[in-house]
Structure formats: C-alpha cells, structure tokens
Amino acid sequence: MIHPLLLHLVLFFSAAHSDPTLVIKNARIADGAGGPVVSGKVVVIAGDTIVKIADQKKWKTPAGIREIDGSGLVLSPGFIDMHNHSDSRILQQPGAMTQVRQGITTAVVGQDGGSKEPLATFFSQVEKNGTAINIASTVGFGSLRSLAMGDDWRRPAKPEEIAKMKALLDQDMKDGGFGLSSGIEYEPDSYSTTDELVEVTKTIKPYGGYYVSHVRDEGAHVLDSWRELMVISERAGVPGQISHIKFGSVSSWGQFPKYTALMKEADAKGLKITADCYPYNYWHSTLRVLVLSRRYDDLAEVKRGVDDNGGPENIILTDYAPDPSVVGKSLAQIAKEKRMDPYQLYMQMIRETDPAHRKPEWGEDVEGILGISMQEDDIKNFYKDPRVMVSSDGAIDGGHPRGAGTYPRFLGRYVREYKVVSLEEGVRKMTSLPASVLGLKDRGRIAEGMKADLVLFNPDTVIDRSTIKDPTAAPEGIPYVIVNGQVAVENGVATSARGGRVLRKGK
C-alpha cells in the first residue's frame, strides 16, 4: 500500500511534469522525418519535452504560459551537426553563440581523429561549466594512437599498442561515445594501415557505434579512400560515414558517376554508408595537408600539391603565427609582395612553422589555410543523394565562415535558391537523418515525447552573412532556437540560457 503522502507527491510531480511551459503557434511544421509541411497545429512543450501537438483551433494556452508566434516561419527540429569542432572552445565559450544562432542544437564533436581524452573527464567539465547546445562526441582514433604510441607514431601500430587503443576506446564507449572518428589525411592517423583501423573499429560494434572518417586522400585518390572506408565498415561490422564529402582537388573533378557506382556497390553489400557535406566550395585546413607525401623540400611535389588544390591564388592564409600580417592573403599575393616564387614561399612557410621549433606564444593555431578547390555542381549532386546530410565542419570562433553560416546557407542557397532538394528533405538532412546515424531516439523529429530542440526560421529570408573577412557574423532569418525547452535564441540574438546537455550513447 502506497503511503498517501507519497501518492500525493507522485501526482504532484507527474502533473507538474506535463504542465505546459512554452507553446509555439501559427508556424508551419516540418517534422524532420521528411513528411509534408503542415499548418494549423500548436506545439506544446513541458520542461524539456514536446508533450502535445494539438489542433490550433481547439487549443487554449493556459494563462501565464509563454507563447511564441511562428507566423510566417517554419518550425523544424533543432539541427544536429554531424561534424563539429566546438570541443576546442566550448569550455571557454559555453554560450557557443555562432553555433546556436545558426540553429545547431546538437554538435557532434571529437571529429577528424581528435577527441578530448578521456571523454568522461571532458563530459563532466562541460556539464559543470554549462552549455547552450547539446554536445555529443565520437572518439578520435588519432588521440588514441598518440596515447598508445607516445611520440613514436610514424609507423603502423604494434599488436600491444592496438590492444591499448582498444582498451581506451572501450572505456570511452562505456562513457557514452557515439563511435570512432579518424582523420587519416592528418598525422598521426596517416601512418595507420587499414588492418589497424579495422581492428580498433571492431571495439565499437557491441555499443552500436559508427565509424566516421576524414578519409586518407580527399583529392587525387578520393575514390580509393572511400573504398577503404567501405572496407573498414564491412570488416568491422559497423555503419560508416564519410566526413565532409568532397572531390577536393582539381585532378579529382568530374568523377561523380564513380561515386554513385561505389554507393550502389555498398548498398548491394548491405553496408550502411552515409556522408556529411558542408555547403562551401572551399575547405579549411593546414598548409601541411597540401603535400600528402610530406616531402616538403621536394619542389616538384610541392608544385603538384599546391596546383592540385587550385594553385597559389586559391590558397588563402587564415592563421600564420610567425607573421600574422599575411592572414587573409593568398599564397600568390604574399609571394608577389615578397618578390618570391609562390612554391618557394610555401616551402619557407613549412620550415618556419615546423612543429619541432614552434614558439609557445604561438598557441594552437600556428598555421591554417582556406583552399578553394571544390566544384559547386559536385556539392549539389552530393546533397541530392538521400544518404548525404548537412554538417558544418565549423568551430565556435573558427576562421572559416561555415562556423557561423552553414545551416542558413544550406537553407537559403541549396534549398530556396538552387532547389536542390525540397524544404522537407532539406530539413530531414539536418535533423532525423543525423539522429538515425547516432541512434538518438528522442531528437531529430517533432513528435509528442521528443525532446524540445527546435528552430523557427523564415524560409523566404534565411541566409548566412559570415564571410572570409568576417567569419563569425550572425545569419539572418532564424529568430528562435530552443534547446531542451529553453529559449536559446530570441529575435536572432543568443540568450544566456544554458539548456544544452552532454548526450551519451545508449543513455
């Protein structure tokens, strides 16, 4: 027999739990699953949950409960960014203003092989500090490799080192990691063999994790690199996702039909292969990534690498600690000013930023570049593929405008202007599709019982305003963003709400 006082408390809390705290009316609803946009409904939120989707004519909001008027706006689930680098700054900038203003309510960090280790420590720091957006993380293969191999990583790992990586990864997965990320174009991941990657990736299978990769070569050998990802997915028995998919160099252009054929092959084998893509024709990386053979003092190699990435006029410095005055200029421009050959200039810059003699005062961002080396048509074709979702590859105060503009740019250009996909399909690519790869059952759709991560945007005006010169500028046409039922953006301005949480796989 339940004690009457206890019963009273139970009833009190369950009633309090479903009492509305926020109501959104007059909006057209894109549910995230790809269904047609509907009107005439109100979305009722109690605490952090959508508790009711009611007929607006029959609904009356109780006195004193806040209503948001969504007239002229589309209500969508919050955007889930599958490739996000906010882990670099979320502890310093828990408001994550550039992220939340563009509608990102969940950022999946730990990308390109680099995660904060161990995840449990990072997660508790984020929780203690507060966050405006939800943070989920994959485990970085490169981070594990560094921990297991120390400074001696310019070779394939030995069996005992692989065992160490697997043990670290297993613990991170127990603590809520969503999968394994690699960045095989970068050190130390680039020294790994496919066998090594397969063996480590097997660890995530019992947890339902996925393998996600910045592949070995995004340029000349991109098709081989995607095939390697397929092999890893198949042999480890886990879904595979291609990070920021692109034909990233001049020599790789014109091969879209080969991508289609490869994906058909994956489907025929029953593999689950997905990809994410950012809506920009230029990437952000390091000077070093231009010469994959790492033979930085071989002029012919340097010339091949620079030219295949669009040539000296299409490579623009975003960071250069030894001489910050060159930031914003292309290699061609800087070379002209210095009366130097641009390839010799590149070689000099590599020497000046050699990891062996970097100055502590240079900080983490010693050198960085934008490379304009993708074709618009390829981006459009990727977005037409139902397996390809949107990601930013951005950071809270990163040097690439995608860090503040990805989602409004996708909606404004690729959906509204180019009509690459319908509004419903565009929303699905930012919401339920990533949620399904993550295995998130309570986010990514608008339905009763789902968490109240929501975005209100104006489909006629939404657009990015961030540029190479002003990479953190706020977008237009996203007046409201709600994270776990809390208003995180109001009239386009980030609030002080810290409604975000750490999301842990399986919890």
Identity of the residue, 404 or 455, whose beta carbon is nearer to Zn ion in the bound complex:
404
Identity of the residue, 112 or 189, whose beta carbon is nearer to Zn ion in the bound complex:
112
Which residues neighbour 425 within 8 Å (Cβ) at sequence distance 6 or greater?
34, 386
Backbone angles phi, psi at 251, to 5 degrees: -70, -10
Identity of the residue, 70 or 310, whose beta carbon is nearer to Zn ion in the bound complex:
310
Identity of the residue, 215 or 494, whose beta carbon is nearer to Zn ion in the bound complex:
215
Minimum Å gap between C-beta 58 and Zn ion is 49
Which residues neighbour 77 within 8 Å (Cβ) at sequence distance 6 or greater?
31, 32, 105, 427, 431, 432, 443, 444, 445, 446, 450, 453, 454, 455
Site residues for Zn ion, 92-121, by CB under 5 A, read: 112
Q: Running DSSP on this structure, what letter comes out for residue 502?
A: B
Minimum Å gap between C-beta 108 and Zn ion is 13
Find out whether the peptide bond into 156 is cis, omega within 30 degrees of 0.
no
How far, in Å, CA of 396 to CA of 133, rounded? 11
Minimum Å gap between C-beta 394 and Zn ion is 11
Backbone angles phi, psi at 235, to 5 degrees: -70, -30
Minimum Å gap between C-beta 140 and Zn ion is 11
Identity of the residue, 305 or 342, whose beta carbon is nearer to Zn ion in the bound complex:
305
Minimum Å gap between C-beta 160 and Zn ion is 29
# binding residues, Zn ion (CB under 5 A) = 2
Q: First vs last Cα of the chain: how many Å apart?
A: 32
Identity of the residue, 84 or 484, whose beta carbon is nearer to Zn ion in the bound complex:
84
Minimum Å gap between C-beta 377 and Zn ion is 22
Encoded one letter per residue, x for contact with Zn ion by CB under 5 A and - for no contact, window 199-218 reads ---------------x----
Minimum Å gap between C-beta 149 and Zn ion is 21
Let me know: does 41 contact 55? Beta carbons within 8 Å: yes
Q: Which two tokens stand for residue 50?
A: 């959508």
Minimum Å gap between C-beta 7 and Zn ion is 55
> What are the DSSP calls for 424-438, one per residue?
HHHHHHHTHHHHHHH
Task: Report which of 360, 503, 393 is spatially closest to residue 438, judged by C-alpha positions.
Answer: 503
Find out whether the peptide bond into 188 is cis, omega within 30 degrees of 0.
yes
Minimum Å gap between C-beta 437 and Zn ion is 17
Which residues neighbour 9 within 8 Å (Cβ) at sequence distance 6 or greater?
none
Q: At what angle do helices 141-149 and 159-174 cross, to 10 degrees?
A: 130
The torsion defined by the Cα of 417, 421, 424 and 427, in degrees rounded to 10, comes to -80
Identity of the residue, 42 or 395, whose beta carbon is nearer to Zn ion in the bound complex:
395
How far, in Å, CA of 485 to CA of 44, rounded? 10
Task: Report which of 234, 243, 236, 198 is spatially closest to residue 216, judged by C-alpha positions.
Answer: 243
Minimum Å gap between C-beta 183 and Zn ion is 6
Identity of the residue, 133 or 215, whose beta carbon is nearer to Zn ion in the bound complex:
215
Which residues neighbour 383 within 8 Å (Cβ) at sequence distance 6 or greater?
277, 279, 390, 410, 414, 420, 421, 429
Minimum Å gap between C-beta 463 and Zn ion is 25
How far, in Å, CA of 241 to CA of 256, rounded? 18
Identity of the residue, 202 or 214, whose beta carbon is nearer to Zn ion in the bound complex:
214
Site residues for Zn ion, 229-288, by CB under 5 A, read: none
Kind of pairing, strands 388-390 and 273-277?
Answer: parallel
Identity of the residue, 112 or 217, whose beta carbon is nearer to Zn ion in the bound complex:
112
402 binds Zn ion (CB under 5 A): no
Identity of the residue, 145 or 214, whose beta carbon is nearer to Zn ion in the bound complex:
214
The residues binding Zn ion (CB under 5 A) are: 112, 214
